Amino acid sequence: MSVEFAQIQMEPAYRKVAAVIGARIRSRELREGARLPAETELARQFGVNRSTVREALRELESRGLLERRPGSKLMTVSRPRQASVAAGISDALLLHDVTARDVWEALMILEPPIAVAAARARTGADLEQIGAAAGALAAAADTVQAVQRTAQVLRCIGAATHNPVLRLAQEPLLLLLEPSLRVMIDKVPQARTRILNAQQHLLETLTRQDEAAAQTWMTRHIRDFKKGYELAGIDLAVHLAPRGVD
């Protein structure tokens, strides 16, 4: 006959303050670009100390709901930049011991349909961007550049879907892809030309809006990554290593 009590949790004030301001931002009551009141003013309104307000602001800032325009000390409301969200996601995945296989499997699932959607929804401006990224890749000087620009082409294709969900789902995968891709390209000489070739074909299929061909080439493209890993002797079951400090 044990009596059960619900767990009572005290929320610290800084968390409540963050929750209140965060809710206002999410509800669009505070719109993007709007200036937040000064810290002293917020402290007065909430009836807490400025230090407490500051802790709340740090929380919102790290979630991307607040941002400081460069060179300015004003805090303004912002929508989270996809880059910062994606960085958080890849951090989480790294700490959860994802393997290269996990990432590759997810890319294999995600990228071909993204190519199809991009073929359907791409605009002329999208094609220009993809073309520019592909051109930059062809002119890449070193391995690091080649890897970054390979990811950039995929990123542009994701943008061409005009679906923010797909773009955000794709981004952390690209971040996680880079380190292992760097090793692979270094060890497999033919990888670069294969990548270049596949992406050229992709650009062309997107231009023609040939959805089936886009899917085929993207599938081939991603599958090549795995082949490259095997040729390079990279164990797909190995946990990915964290990338360098920001």
Partner DNA sequence: ATTGCCGGTTTGTCCGACAATCATACGATC
Partner DNA sequence: GATCGTATGATTGTCGGACAAACCGGCAAT
* Interacting residues with its own copies (CB under 8 A): 7, 9, 14, 18-19, 23, 25-28, 32, 51, 54-56, 58-59, 61-65, 70-71, 79-80, 82, 85, 88-89, 91-98, 102-103, 105-106, 109-110, 113-114, 117, 163-166, 168-169, 173, 242, 245-246
Q: Which of residues 125-184 bind DNA (CB under 7 A)?
A: none
Residue 27 burial (10 A CB sphere; 0-12, 13-18, 19+): exposed
Residues 175-194 as b or e (16 or more Cβ within 10 Å = b): bbbebbbebbbeebeebbeb
Q: Which does 159 bind (CB under 5 to 8 A by kind): its own copies, DNA, none?
A: none
Looking at beta carbons only, is 10 or 245 nearer to DNA? Answer: 10
Looking at beta carbons only, is 12 or 242 nearer to DNA? Answer: 12
Looking at beta carbons only, is 61 or 210 nearer to its own copies? Answer: 61
Residue 244 burial (10 A CB sphere; 0-12, 13-18, 19+): exposed
Shortest separation between residue 19's beta carbon and DNA, angstroms: 12
Q: Which of 1, 73, 97, 124 binds DNA (CB under 7 A)?
A: 73
Name the residue among 43, 68, 64, 46 with its Cα closest to residue 54.
Answer: 43
Q: Is 39 in the site for DNA (CB under 7 A)?
A: yes
Residue 128 Cα to chain centre, angstroms: 22
Q: Which does 66 bind (CB under 5 to 8 A by kind): DNA, its own copies, none?
A: none
Q: Which of 23, 29, 33, 51 binds DNA (CB under 7 A)?
A: 51
Q: Is 50 in the site for DNA (CB under 7 A)?
A: yes
* HEC assignment per residue over 140-155: CCCHHHHHHHHHHHHH
Cα(21)–Cα(213) distance, rounded to whole angstroms? 48
Which residues does residue 99 pair with via DSSP β-bridges, in sequence order?
Answer: 239
* Whole-number Cα distances in Å, 81 to 24, 51, 59, 142, 164: 18, 26, 15, 28, 11
Q: Is 33 in the site for DNA (CB under 7 A)?
A: no
Q: Which of 26, 68, 81, 239 binds DNA (CB under 7 A)?
A: 68
Where on the chain is the footprint of DNA (CB under 7 A)?
10, 12-14, 36, 38-41, 47-52, 54-55, 68, 71-75
